[in-house]
Amino acid sequence: MQEYILTVRAFDALPPVRFADVRVVITVLDADDHQPIFAPAVYAASVLENRAGGALEPPIARVQATDGDRGEHSAFRYVVLGSEQQLFAIDPETGDITERAPGLDREVRGSYTLLVDTVPPSAAPAVVTVTVLDVNDNPPVFASPTLFARLSEAEPVGSLVARVAATDADLGRNSQLRYAIEGGNVGGHFVIHPVSGEITLVVMVDAEALRPAGTGIDILIVASDDGVPQRSATVLVRVTVLDENDNAPVHHPDVESYEASDVLLLHARLALNLG
């Protein structure tokens, strides 16, 4: 509200001139002729996924609008427009924006664009872009709990036996995986590359030396991410060792002698029966 103070003087037209003054106060009353204006009109904010949400959490962002009117005509409140108001709340007085409830999941949706307005409406709504930041909430995943491989006992050292691969739905360091042998691998025949997941042969395998003969070798592989807290998963690699014809026949005299005596005895019995 503005005031103008004037002094108005009335005086005689003819001498002797006499006059009189009067003080006039003009008050300009405000009319609601301004809309709220957001400054700035565009905001960028970020929030960690899986926060508890609600009023106890720090606000994600704060918007601000001003109104050129005075008094009651300058009063307004903030609102979130559209479907995003189901996920985000705004303090009608301060403009603080928070999640309504826990459960923002970056793996489901990585960003949100909010339109924030005032009541009565502003000259133009504010645009708030909220980016959901990743936390390490997903473990590595193998496509199958068991991987089967076949290896000839004649394969030389350095041969590729199998390759394991896991996936991680997180981002950045939270999705960077390293592989290691955690168990099995009796005899130390195999090693694994920590990044590629390639399993190679470092000590040749003798199929006849396996107990029981002809069985395979189990290797337990673990994949671990680089996040905090670290998460991991395992896969069992079952390597079947294929036998090759790498052993010559062995002469056993005792066995052959026994077999010959059996033949002679059989012939004698036949001769008696025929006679």
- Region class of 70: left (phi > 0), else alpha (psi between -120 and 50), else beta: beta
In degrees and rounded to multiples of 5, residue 183 shows phi and psi of -165, 175
Q: How confident is the prediction for the chain on average, in pLDDT? A: 88
| CATH level 3 topology of 141-242 | Immunoglobulin-like (2.60.40)
Chain region(s) in the chain for CATH 2.60.40.60: 37-133, 141-242
Identify the residue with better confidence: 212 or 245.
Answer: 212
Per residue in 109-152, pLDDT tens?
Answer: 999 999 999 999 999 999 999 999 999 999 999 999 999 999 99
- CA–CA separation, 202 and 187 (whole Å): 10
Which of 59, 65, 64, 55 has the alpha carbon at shortest distance from 46? 59
Per-residue pLDDT band for 177 (boundaries 50, 70, 90) equals very high
Output the CATH code of domain 37-133: 2.60.40.60
Show Cβ contacts of residue 274 under 8 Å, excluding neighbours closer than 6 positions: none
Note the pLDDT tens digit of each residue in 20-77. Answer: 889 988 877 666 678 999 999 999 999 999 888 877 789 999 999 999 888 888 899 9
Q: Look at residue 182 and tell me whether its pLDDT is greater than 60.
A: yes
What are the beta bridge partners of residue 58?
none
pLDDT digits (tens, 9 = 90+) for 72-112: 888 999 999 999 999 999 999 999 999 988 879 999 999 99
